[in-house]
Amino acid sequence: MRRKVFIALLATASLTYACQQGANKSETGETTNDSTEQTTFDTVIDGKDVKLYALQNEKLQVTLTNYGARLVSLHVKNKEGKETDVILGYDTADEFKQNASNYYGAIVGRYGNRIGNATFTLDGATYELEKNNGENSLHGGTNGVYNKVWTVEQSSDTAITLAYTSPDGEAGYPGTVTMKVTYSLTDGGLLIDYEGSTDKKTVLNLTNHAYFNLNGEGDATILDHELQIDADAITEVDETLIPTGKSLAVAGTAFDFRKPQTIGSRIDTDNEQLKVGQGYDHNFELVKGEGFRKVASVYAPKTGIEMQILTTEPGLQFYSGNFMTDSDPKGKGGKGYPFRSAFCLETQHFPDSPNQPSFPSTVLKPGEKYTSKTEYRFLVR
């Protein structure tokens, strides 16, 4: 059944893409009545066309939408050869819009993660951001890039480039920032390339906010997943999840994932940091390696699916779905996504870096190029 729906989605997305390439046929609406799936993503948000796109090779099938440059589904084969969608989401663009503040599958920013007291200074000027998470700013505020319609610059069966230009002052951030995100399929993986530039000194920290469940989206838990992260320390946070400026060694704590451990084995232990996050919701300070390197892996014994993460970034936010609840709006196919039924591993610079001079810098100056690269690579064992 899930396979059938995916095939319909894929066919729809390819059709939409094909029509978009040729003479703007999709604008006329003439392709909108082939299947329910097609119309559910073929819409207009903020006066801009929103569509569903598909990427496919022998190993991976991905759909995404230009609303928030967002992953909608990611199918890989499990150990029995059955297609498994490992990403949470919705069946319609409207539902993604209505529930934008859970960031499903989206590119978040301009500053992914939190900025303390929703303010920072740069060259003596103070910038005020939106307080959308208590007193803090999270993922760029409600006017963040995850809530914008991006332009598709180019697409093929295996790659798509989406672009968004954020005007000077948007969501409180200085500078006109031009961003590009390219999703491309590799042999067994999904590579995400980020690029950005600015006309005024600013800060930029983009990441993808996919929620994964390697048992398949809609499965009740991720606590059985075995996680490994190459990090000797986490960034300590206060009760509002803002860094204190200190690093905490993971050795001998529930945060030690240097060797694979199930997510659930220590999540409820008596630990101050787990209490403030209500579980894992922390930046792991990745062991410094050169450039693009493997930093983490997750394995689900039930399906045999393993996901490896490779990145150029210095940090990885591990969020264990602690704020998900049984009463959250239903996801794809009406499935519930309860407490800790997904995890996020967001490659990034550290939270609140603009206010923490000792953290790796997130400042972007005119003439510089922002680049970042992350791959989610899948295997079955």
Sort 312 into a burial class: Cβ within 10 Å, 0-12 / 13-18 / 19+. middle
Contacts of 137 (CB under 8 A, 6+ apart): 111, 114, 115, 118, 129, 130, 131, 172
Alpha carbon distances (Å) from 354 to 147, 277, 347: 23, 22, 17
Q: Per rule CB under 6 A, is residue 102 in the interface with ligand BGC?
A: yes
Residue from 6, 319, 343, 350 touching ligand BGC (CB under 6 A): that is 319
Q: Per rule CB under 6 A, is residue 42 in the interface with ligand BGC?
A: no
Q: Per rule CB under 6 A, is residue 346 in the interface with ligand BGC?
A: yes
Q: Which of residues 58-87 bind ligand BGC (CB under 6 A)?
A: none
CA dihedral 91, 327, 337, 192 (to 10 degrees): 70
Q: Quick one: CA dihedral 237, 267, 348, 148, positive or negative?
A: negative
CA dihedral 58, 373, 323, 52 (to 10 degrees): -50
Would you state the structure tokens that stand for residue 374, as one six-digit string? 């992350």
Among 75, 139, 209, 349, the active-site one is 209
Residue 329 CA from chain centroid, whole number = 19
349 is catalytic: no
Q: Per rule CB under 6 A, is residue 212 in the interface with ligand BGC?
A: no
Nearer CB in complex with ligand BGC: 69/241 = 241
Nearer CB in complex with ligand BGC: 153/238 = 238
Among 170, 217, 346, 375, the active-site one is 346
Q: Per rule CB under 6 A, is residue 37 in the interface with ligand BGC?
A: no
Kindly determine how many residues on this chain lie close enough to bind ligand BGC according to the rule CB under 6 A.
Answer: 9
Q: Per rule CB under 6 A, is residue 281 in the interface with ligand BGC?
A: yes
CB of 183 within 8 A of CB of 57? no
**What distance in Å separates the CA atoms of residue 164 and residue 364, rounded to the nearest whole number?**
17
Q: Per rule CB under 6 A, is residue 283 in the interface with ligand BGC?
A: no
Q: Per rule CB under 6 A, is residue 103 in the interface with ligand BGC?
A: yes
Closest separation in Å from C-beta 11 to ligand BGC = 31
Q: Per rule CB under 6 A, is residue 205 in the interface with ligand BGC?
A: no
170 is catalytic: no
Closest separation in Å from C-beta 144 to ligand BGC = 12
Q: Which stretch binds ligand BGC (CB under 6 A): 91-99, 262-270, 315-323, 355-363?
A: 315-323
Closest separation in Å from C-beta 345 to ligand BGC = 10
Q: ∠ at Cα 340 (336, 343), nearest 5°?
A: 105
| Residues belonging to the active site | 209, 346
Residues binding ligand BGC (CB under 6 A): 102-103, 241, 281, 317, 319, 323, 344, 346
